Amino acid sequence: MILIIIVFLLNLIIITALGTWLQNNLFKADKNTLPFLLFNGLAVYMLLIWMVLYFHRFDWILQLLMLVWAVFYLRKYPDYLQGLIQVFNGFSKTHKVVFWLTVILVLLLTTGNSYLPDNESYYIQTIKWANEQGFARGLINIHPFLGQFSGWHILQAGFNVHNVLFALTFNDLNALFFLIFLFYWLFYTERFQSQNYWFVLWPVVLVLLLFFIDSPSPDLPVILLSLIVFDLFIQNYNIARPQLLLQLFILALFSFLIKPTAFVNLLLAILLIIKHRRLIKGQLYLYVIFGLTGLFLWLSKNYLITGYLFYPFKFGGRWLHPAWQYPDELMQYMNQLGKRDSWAIDGQYNVIIGFWQWLQQPGWHRFSNGLFVIVLLVFPWILYFKRNKWYGLKAYLIIYFLGLFYFILLLFISPNIRFLLAFLLFFIPVIVLLCLPANFNKYLNVSGWLIFLIAGIYLIGRQNYNSINILVPKPVSKLSYRFMSRQDGNFMYYYPYEEHLFWQTGDAPLPAVYYRQLEYFKTHTGYLPQKLPDKKSAYFSKPIDTSQSY
């Protein structure tokens, strides 16, 4: 835990300096954008690492250079750092206690192992590729999940002192982001004391995100950034500030580069920019620069790793057909697997049957899926009957209809509740605050924090800690650190020694894929990963019955 604190502090220096640099160049002395400084620092750091990965791995040397630059830059421009400290000093005693209790809780959670199975299947491996290799052509051919290569995992690579001191590879960026968001939340609860302000229910919202803290899941930052985007959209819908419009666009683009499912945030930003286009005439070039840079990075990364510009869609795949392009047959097969997992239904199905089956999923999914549908049906009626009580009704309705459109779109692709959580966690507080008396808000806020702390303590209790974990947390993977190697054709790979689900590779050396996964795909699709000749870290899927020599 102590080493995690050290890593957090070192990286906070870097992102504070990068956020200060952006503040100096874009927002100047605008105090309204000060709370977003750390979010901006994360966004700029992600873009810098992203650019490096085309040519080189992001290793400890580059991180050290960033740290040295950050220290000198903050010494030259200390005002914004001092401003953040002043914001924290201005918090009430209650909120300071809440903050430090949450810091302790979050640090204890990061000391344990991750609950999410995706951590073992591709989170660890994606970050490992960024730290040790950079972008590899055709990486998706090794493991289909690696085709995602989220911007969040790119950013996480910048927080690891990789291959210098193994214990400092923690992959705990989600925990730091959670605390940065908490700082932002407390700032707004201090600034806006309105009894109808929906932020008062966010402690309950945060409870549902505790499971994402101890792994680098892109879902947590996308959900929290989406909630901030929704709020900025509402704040600036009727009367907008030019600097906050630009800030909204940066956060929306940041969330999209983390996970393309956050394209709804970009739609909201574009709608608001169009509505207030007269306000941004002098800054239009900034939107163009940010937008084109983000688009180029996303398209080029997709092309290098998968062979498709718009992965997971196949648009343009026939015209751009590099040697490492993921085969169309495998794309279709993986899409079928994805739909089956999302719908929990096998064989032929249509949207209506699939929707009903989706509602019948067992366990937590049945509750959350049903709750989302109920909220979706109830929300517009409550807004209608309480329209005289709620300011900014049109902005809320736009978010609602965008959420409805997004849900209908997902019904044809992959209706995973994780993609809908941002809307669910936005609609519920609004419904509760509109239906309950205003004097209940204070009690809801206190109750929310109690539930949050109790849930966190419960999760901590499920971890088996040793005394050494006070200094050094548990490894990033729960799987065995014994690995075997195999070779198929010219492809040599590593896999865990013990039996696991065939998607899981843990922290195996690169390249890693479980041998049972390769056997399964060879049997069901007839393809096998191979290395491309004369290309460093380039892979393709070879039909196993081909007679061609490579």
Question: From first to last of its 550 residues, what are the pLDDT tens digits of the chain?
Answer: 788 888 889 999 999 999 999 988 888 767 778 889 999 999 999 999 999 999 999 988 898 999 999 999 999 998 888 888 988 888 888 888 888 988 988 888 888 777 788 888 889 999 999 999 999 999 998 998 999 999 999 999 998 876 555 556 788 899 999 999 989 888 877 766 544 455 666 677 778 788 888 889 999 999 999 999 998 998 888 888 888 999 999 999 999 999 999 999 999 999 999 999 888 888 889 999 999 999 999 999 999 999 999 888 877 667 788 888 888 888 877 776 665 554 444 444 567 777 777 787 777 777 888 888 899 999 888 887 776 666 668 888 899 999 999 988 888 777 788 888 899 888 888 888 777 776 776 777 777 788 888 888 888 777 776 767 677 777 788 876 788 889 888 889 898 887 777 788 888 898 999 888 888 888 877 888 888 886 666 788 878 664 443 3
| Distance (Å) of CA 367 to CA 87, 405, 459 | 39, 22, 21
Question: What integer pLDDT is reported at residue 135 of this predicted model?
Answer: 92
Strand duo 527-531 + 539-543: pairing: antiparallel
Question: What integer pLDDT is reported at residue 70 of this predicted model?
Answer: 95
Question: What integer pLDDT is reported at residue 149 of this predicted model?
Answer: 93
Write down the residue that tokens 């940065």 correspond to: 180
**From CA 277, how far away is CA 245, in angstroms rounded?**
10
Question: What integer pLDDT is reported at residue 199 of this predicted model?
Answer: 62
**From CA 404, how far away is CA 254, in angstroms rounded?**
23
**From CA 196, how far away is CA 391, in angstroms rounded?**
10
| pTM for this model (two decimals) | 0.91
The string over 130-169, giving b where at least 16 C-beta atoms fall within 10 Å of a residue's C-beta and e elsewhere, is bbbbbbbbbbbbbbbbbbbbbbbbbbbbbbbbbeeeeebb
pLDDT digit string, tens, across residues 116-175: 888 888 899 999 999 999 999 999 989 989 999 999 999 999 988 765 555 567 888 999
CA neighbor of 504 nearest in space, from 255, 202, 211, 143: 143
Task: List the structure tokens of 217.
Answer: 């899941």
